[in-house]
Homo-oligomer: A and B are copies of this chain.
Amino acid sequence: MTTRPLILNAVEMSTAGHLAFGLWRRHAPAARDYTDVDYWVELGRVLEDGGFDALFLADALGQLDTYERSADRALTDAVQTPLDDPLLVVSAIAAATSTLGIGVTVSTTYEQPYLLARKFTTLDHLTRGRIGWNIVTSQLDSAARNLGLERQLPHDRRYELAQEFLDVTYKLWEGSWDDGAVVKDRERGVYADPSKVHAIGHSGEYFSVPSAHLSEPSAQRTPVLFQAGSSPRGRAFAARNAEVVFVAGIEPVALRRNIEEIRRLAALEGRGPGAIRFIGLVTVIADATDEAARAKLRDYQRYRSVEGSIAHFSAITGIDWGQYDLDAPLEYIETESNRSILASLTKDVPGAAWTLRDVFASPDGVGGYGRPIVGSGATVAGRLEELADESGLDGFNIAGAVAIEDYRAFGEHVTPVLAERGRVSEKAPGRTLREALSGASSPLLPADHPAARYRGAFAGRPSAAPPLAAVAGTEG
């Protein structure tokens, strides 16, 4: 087993309570005001100083209203509610940092690819090549019904639409503007050479995008592509498109099996063995000693919200778990299907108990899912190394229970130990997020990625699409 640096991301959301539900109460009154730009600037600086590779911003487009068929619990306990737009904080963080990558979740279901492509190019410009995109296809009915859809698109059609969406953005990012198109020749008065800018002429089942990309190319062209699909269709989508995959669970054998399966699928797509990095999700509570960290955990537990956790679980499973008694044993949960969902949530946890309360108020937990890694820098670093080595994970999304405090503690106690062991990557201003995460020496997608086929694919085409009326043969 060679020692390689671990990818260290922080994972946040533009809301008062992201994954450790109820813990917003633990924050000092002004400590986590996600509506304040200074909060994001400080978070960015703490992460960059603490050796993190990237800040990852999750998102959702609807209220969490499955639990008790109401949003009341989500509002009361600040369960990812209220929720601001994550794309809009990026430039403030970018201006305050120089190496930290920033990944943002955006759904393909409610955006136009022509405009989404411009957004990520703009952010890649403003971050100087440090932007990533977590591609999601959206899962909340409460989003669909506010956004012009009668209901959620069926799962498989969402992925079909998402693939065409991606193909459009690949064409815009990789094929529309040739290398060297932007010349900025002040003498001749040529900003861009129009013979090197091409209309992409896309006409598909879901989208029609005849024109050239509005924005000039950025350092990475295509943002670093993240994905978290775990369904069969989602895995195939990730194997085809993703550069970084978020995998669920913390049980090493299951993780390794999942990783190997996605690698196998990626190979079938013609992608090289190192084409995808895999990232697990952990909550870390670190302090100077194991003792101090455990005391911090006990303090945190005073604030956690079991109902808030169940409200979130209800939204992501689409099942109102509020209908069950918190302390009813598993066998009293109605329907085989619901029992197996609950059982699957605890299957990675040896000796896990079998009531809703056992899952969401375990003596090791801190609100939300799973058990945090708690301890001194050496303890946490050891556990992360072990988990990565046993599972094949390339790194972690680290969720702070109490942001910014927990990230500062990680940087203070864990990062120095990991660095000593060669587990923290060297950071260099000017290096893109893609280079930092993949170790490659190019800021661009590798040649075996499906987007690469569009490089040069539109050579010879003009810079503008013909007017639609002419295309359709009708009058203007």
Do residues B114 and A147 form an inter-chain contact, with CB atoms below 8 A?
Answer: yes
A-B contact sample (12 more), CB < 8 A, given A76-B193, A84-B121, A151-B468: A14-B122, A36-B125, A37-B128, A62-B211, A83-B118, A84-B118, A88-B119, A89-B126, A110-B115, A146-B211, A150-B468, A189-B303
Task: Encode A203-230 as 1/0 by CB contact (under 8 A) with B.
Answer: 0000111111111101000000000000
Kindly provide the distance from the CB of A7 to the nearest chain B CB, expressed in whole angstroms.
24
Do residues B468 and A82 form an inter-chain contact, with CB atoms below 8 A?
Answer: no
Do residues A146 and B114 form an inter-chain contact, with CB atoms below 8 A?
Answer: yes
Contact A214-B82, Cβ < 8 Å, known A191-B75, A191-B77: yes
Do residues A142 and B75 form an inter-chain contact, with CB atoms below 8 A?
Answer: no
- A53: interface (CB < 8 Å): no
Kindly provide the distance from the CB of A468 to the nearest chain B CB, expressed in whole angstroms.
4
Q: Once the chains are docked, how many angstroms separate the CA of A84 from the CA of B214?
A: 7
Do residues B468 and A141 form an inter-chain contact, with CB atoms below 8 A?
Answer: yes
Kindly provide the distance from the CB of A15 to the nearest chain B CB, expressed in whole angstroms.
10
Kindly provide the distance from the CB of A439 to the nearest chain B CB, expressed in whole angstroms.
26
Kindly provide the distance from the CB of A141 to the nearest chain B CB, expressed in whole angstroms.
6
Interfacial chain B residues near A469, Cβ < 8 Å: 151
Interfacial chain B residues near A355, Cβ < 8 Å: none
Interfacial chain B residues near A125, Cβ < 8 Å: 35-36, 84
Kindly provide the distance from the CB of A58 to the nearest chain B CB, expressed in whole angstroms.
14
Interfacial chain B residues near A112, Cβ < 8 Å: 110, 146-148
- A90: interface (CB < 8 Å): yes
Partner of A192, one of B78, B110, B184, B214: B78
- A238: interface (CB < 8 Å): no
Partner of A214, one of B29, B63, B145, B218: B63
- A190: interface (CB < 8 Å): yes
- A267: interface (CB < 8 Å): no
Pick the 7 closest A-B CB pairs, nearest first: A78-B191, A91-B92, A35-B125, A65-B464, A72-B194, A71-B464, A84-B122
Interfacial chain B residues near A191, Cβ < 8 Å: 16-17, 24, 75-78
- A153: interface (CB < 8 Å): no
Interfacial chain B residues near A373, Cβ < 8 Å: none
Q: Once the chains are docked, how many angstroms separate the CA of A123 from the CA of B71?
A: 24
Do residues B84 and A186 form an inter-chain contact, with CB atoms below 8 A?
Answer: no
- A298: interface (CB < 8 Å): no
- A169: interface (CB < 8 Å): no
Within 8 A of B (CB), among A50-98: 61-63, 65, 69-72, 75-78, 81-85, 87-92, 94-96
Kindly provide the distance from the CB of A342 to the nearest chain B CB, expressed in whole angstroms.
21
- A472: interface (CB < 8 Å): yes
Q: Once the chains are docked, how many angstroms separate the CA of A409 from the CA of B87?
A: 34
Do residues A145 and B88 form an inter-chain contact, with CB atoms below 8 A?
Answer: no
- A197: interface (CB < 8 Å): yes
**Can you list 24 residue pairs at the A/B interface with Cβ under 8 Å?**
A22-B189, A25-B186, A37-B94, A37-B126, A37-B128, A62-B211, A65-B463, A70-B194, A71-B194, A72-B462, A75-B194, A75-B197, A76-B193, A82-B182, A84-B125, A87-B88, A92-B94, A141-B467, A142-B464, A145-B465, A146-B209, A146-B210, A146-B211, A189-B305
Q: Once the chains are docked, how many angstroms separate the CA of A357 from the CA of B231?
A: 63
Contact A37-B76, Cβ < 8 Å, known A462-B70, A465-B145, A469-B151: no
Q: Once the chains are docked, how many angstroms separate the CA of A81 from the CA of B215?
A: 8
Partner of A211, one of B118, B122, B142, B189: B142
A39's nearest neighbour on chain B, judged by CB, is B126
Do residues A192 and B75 form an inter-chain contact, with CB atoms below 8 A?
Answer: yes
Task: Encode A93-105 as 1/0 by CB contact (under 8 A) with B.
Answer: 0111000000000
Interfacial chain B residues near A466, Cβ < 8 Å: 69
